[in-house]
Amino acid sequence: MTDYTAQIAAIEEAMAQGARRVLFRSGGTQREVEYHSVGDMIKAIEWMKAKQSPKSNVTLAAF
């Protein structure tokens, strides 16, 4: 499972500043993404949060 915490924070910070362009840094690499709309930024955040959430359909049995 990938940790998207830093990416989510970067998108939220850009949204708070009214920007659609986000700079992501990971390890020695960096990339820049320009979102078309705030709606696209919200969708990206929701997707990342969903990917981080543990699956809740696990069944445990106790004997």
Report pLDDT digits (tens) over 5-34: 999 999 999 999 999 999 988 788 999 999
**pTM flag (> 0.85):** no
| Of 21, 60, 63, nearest in space to 40 by CA | 21
Can you tell me the distance from the alpha carbon of 32 to that of 48, in angstroms, rounded to the nearest whole number?
17
3, pLDDT greater than 70? yes
| Of 16, 50, 17, 20, nearest in space to 38 by CA | 20
User: What local confidence, expressed as pLDDT, does residue 33 receive?
Assistant: 95
pLDDT band at 52 (very low <50, low <70, confident <90, very high): confident
User: What local confidence, expressed as pLDDT, does residue 32 receive?
Assistant: 95
